[in-house]
C-alpha cells in the first residue's frame, strides 16, 4: 500500500450472522423433508384429489414448514424465533390433520432438530410431547392400532435422538468457541509476557553496563586526567633539560591526551547504549499478526503491512484486538477461506482494512457485542470504524491518528 490509497467507504450499520449448520446437514434435512412431504402430499391427494383446496392447503403447509426451518437457522441464537417455531408446529399439525395416515411425525423430527438451539435444556425434551401430539390425536380418532402405535413410538425415539444429537453439536460448538477465545487470550498474554521479559533483560543489561563498564571507564578517565596533569607539571618543571628529553615528554603528553579523548568517547557511547536499552521495545504489529495467522490454519490470511510503519503501543494493541475479533467472526460465521489485512499510512492517518471472501446473507446487519466493543475502543482512541459489503463480502475499515516516526 502507498500513500495514495483510496479513501475509506461511508459508515454502514453492521452485525454478525451465525452459521450453525454444515452444508451436509442442510442437504440431509432437505432430503428428509422431500420424503416426508411426498408421503404427506400423496396421502392428501388420494383423500381429496389433486387440486382440491385441502390438498393445496397441505402443500402450502409443507412449503411453509421448510421455509421457516431455514429461517430459524439464520436467526441469532439468543433471539429465539418463537413465532416461527410455533408456526412450524401449526403447519405440522395442519398436515397431520389433513393427512392422518401420512408421515407427519417425520416432520416433527426436523422440528426437534431446531429446538436445542433456542429452547432451554430443562424444557427441551418435554417438547417431544407437542411434536407427537397431533399425530397421536389423529391416529386415536381413527382407532389406534398396534402398528400405528409402534410407528409413533419409533418417531418419538427419532425425535429424542435428534434433540440429543443437536444438543451435543451445540455444546461442541460453544466449547470450540470458548477454546478459540481462550487460545487467543493465551496468545495475547504470551506476547505480553515475552515483551515484558525482553524489557526486563534489556534493563538488566543496561544496569550491568552502567555498574561495571561505566564505573571502570569513569575511573580510567579520572586517572588519565591525573596523568595528564602530572605530565604537564613535569614538562613545566624540566624546561632547562635537554631538547631530546622535552621532545619525548611532549610525545608522552600527546599520547595521554589521546587516550583521555578515546576513554571519554567510549564512556559517552556506553551511556547512549544504556539509555536506549532502558527504553521499552515498541510492539511489532506485523510480527503479532503473523503469529495470529499461524494459529488459524483454516483461514489463508494475506498480510500487507507497509514496512517501517510507525505505530504506538495503543494503536498496535487496538489493531491486534480488532484483527482477533475479525478473524474469529470470519472463522465462526462467514465460512470464508481467505482474508486480506492491510495497514498503511495516509497523510496523518493510520489506515487499516480487513476483508474476507465469505458471503453476507443479509445487509444491513445488527451490531453484536463484538463489533460494538470494537467500535467503542476505536472511537475512544480518536479513530473511526467503518463497515461495508462490497460484493456481499464484509469489509472493515479503520482510521487512527498516526504517530510521528
CATH assignment of 285-401?
3.30.565.10
Predicted pLDDT at 64: 92
The yes-or-no verdict on residue 236 having pLDDT over 70 is no
| Residue pair 106/32 in contact by the 8 Å Cβ criterion | yes
Mean pLDDT of 154-170: 86
* Separation CA 165–CA 179 (nearest Å): 21
| Residue pair 115/124 in contact by the 8 Å Cβ criterion | yes
SS3 of residue 343 by DSSP: strand
Mean pLDDT of 258-262: 69
Tens of pLDDT, residue by residue over 119-153, are 888 888 888 888 888 888 888 887 777 877 788 88
Q: Kindly indicate the confidence band of residue 285, based on its pLDDT and cuts at 50, 70 and 90.
A: confident
Q: Kindly indicate the confidence band of residue 369, based on its pLDDT and cuts at 50, 70 and 90.
A: confident
Q: Which of 44-58, 312-326, 340-354 has the lowest mean pLDDT?
A: 312-326
Count other Cβ atoms within 10 Å, centred on residue 111: 22
Q: Kindly indicate the confidence band of residue 2, based on its pLDDT and cuts at 50, 70 and 90.
A: very low
8: Cβ contacts below 8 Å, ≥ 6 apart: 351, 353, 386, 397, 399
The domains of the chain are located at 23-144, 196-278, 285-401
The yes-or-no verdict on residue 281 having pLDDT over 50 is no
How much is the mean pLDDT over the chain?
A: 76
Predicted pLDDT at 249: 64
SS3 of residue 383 by DSSP: coil
SS3 of residue 300 by DSSP: strand
The residue among 63 and 310 whose pLDDT is bigger is 63
Q: Which of 109, 128, 100, 124 is nearest to 39 (CA)?
A: 100
* Separation CA 165–CA 181 (nearest Å): 24
| Residue pair 40/95 in contact by the 8 Å Cβ criterion | yes
- What predicted TM-score, i.e. pTM, was given to this entire model? 0.49
| Residue pair 80/118 in contact by the 8 Å Cβ criterion | yes
In the numeric block, the cell 438451539 is attached to 117
Grid cell of 22 as nine digits: 454444515
Q: Kindly indicate the confidence band of residue 24, based on its pLDDT and cuts at 50, 70 and 90.
A: low
Count other Cβ atoms within 10 Å, centred on residue 261: 12
Mean pLDDT of 379-386: 87
CATH class of 196-278: mainly alpha
In the numeric block, the cell 506476547 is attached to 191
The yes-or-no verdict on residue 254 having pLDDT over 50 is yes
| Residue pair 162/113 in contact by the 8 Å Cβ criterion | yes
The residue among 344 and 266 whose pLDDT is bigger is 344
* Separation CA 102–CA 44 (nearest Å): 8
* Separation CA 139–CA 149 (nearest Å): 8
CB burial string 384-393: b at 16+ within 10 A, e below: ebbbbbeeeb
Q: Which of 354, 338, 346, 342 is nearest to 386 (CA)?
A: 354
Amino acid at each position: 500500500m502507498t500513500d495514495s490509497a483510496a479513501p475509506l467507504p461511508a459508515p454502514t450499520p453492521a452485525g454478525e450472522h451465525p452459521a450453525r449448520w454444515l452444508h451436509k446437514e442442510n442437504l440431509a434435512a432437505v432430503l428428509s423433508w422431500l420424503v416426508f412431504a411426498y408421503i404427506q402430499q400423496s396421502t392428501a391427494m388420494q383423500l381429496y384429489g389433486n387440486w382440491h383446496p385441502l390438498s393445496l392447503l397441505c402443500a402450502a403447509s409443507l412449503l411453509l414448514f421448510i421455509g421457516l426451518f431455514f429461517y430459524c437457522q439464520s436467526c441469532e441464537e439468543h433471539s429465539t424465533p418463537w413465532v416461527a417455531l410455533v408456526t412450524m408446529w401449526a403447519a405440522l399439525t395442519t398436515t397431520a390433520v389433513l393427512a392422518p395416515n401420512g408421515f407427519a411425525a417425520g416432520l416433527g423430527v426436523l422440528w426437534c432438530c431446531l429446538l436445542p438451539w433456542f429452547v432451554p435444556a430443562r424444557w427441551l425434551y418435554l417438547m417431544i410431547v407437542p411434536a407427537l401430539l397431533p399425530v397421536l390425536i389423529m391416529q386415536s380418532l381413527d382407532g389406534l392400532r398396534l402398528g400405528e402405535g409402534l410407528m409413533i413410538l419409533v418417531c418419538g425415539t427419532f425425535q429424542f435422538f435428534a434433540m440429543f444429537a443437536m444438543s451435543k453439536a451445540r455444546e461442541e460448538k460453544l466449547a470450540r468457541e470458548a477454546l478459540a477465545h481462550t487460545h487467543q487470550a493465551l496468545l495475547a498474554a504470551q506476547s505480553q509476557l515475552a515483551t515484558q521479559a525482553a524489557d526486563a533483560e534489556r534493563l538488566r543489561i543496561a544496569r550491568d553496563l552502567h555498574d561495571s563498564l561505566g564505573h571502570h571507564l569513569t575511573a580510567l578517565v579520572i586517572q588519565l586526567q591525573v596523568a595528564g596533569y602530572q605530565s604537564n607539571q613535569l614538562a613545566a618543571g624540566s624546561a632547562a633539560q635537554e631538547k631530546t628529553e622535552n621532545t619525548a615528554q611532549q610525545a608522552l603528553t600527546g599520547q595521554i591526551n589521546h587516550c583521555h579523548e578515546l576513554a571519554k568517547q567510549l564512556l559517552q557511547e556506553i551511556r547512549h547504549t544504556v539509555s536506549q536499552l532502558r527504553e521499552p521495545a515498541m510492539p511489532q504489529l506485523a510480527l503479532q499478526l503473523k503469529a495470529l495467522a499461524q494459529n488459524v490454519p483454516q483461514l489463508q490470511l494475506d498480510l500487507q503491512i507497509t514496512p517501517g510503519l510507525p505505530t504506538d503501543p495503543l494503536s498496535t494493541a487496538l489493531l491486534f484486538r480488532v484483527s482477533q475479533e475479525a478473524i474469529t467472526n470470519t472463522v465462526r460465521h462467514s465460512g470464508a477461506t481467505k482474508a486480506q489485512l492491510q495497514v498503511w499510512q495516509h497523510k496523518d492517518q493510520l489506515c487499516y482494512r480487513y476483508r474476507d471472501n465469505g458471503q453476507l446473507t443479509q445487509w444491513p446487519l445488527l451490531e453484536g457485542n463484538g463489533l460494538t466493543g470494537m467500535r467503542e475502543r476505536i472511537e475512544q482512541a480518536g479513530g473511526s470504524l467503518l463497515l461495508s459489503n462490497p460484493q456481499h463480502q464484509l469489509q472493515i475499515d479503520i482510521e487512527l491518528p498516526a504517530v510521528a516516526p
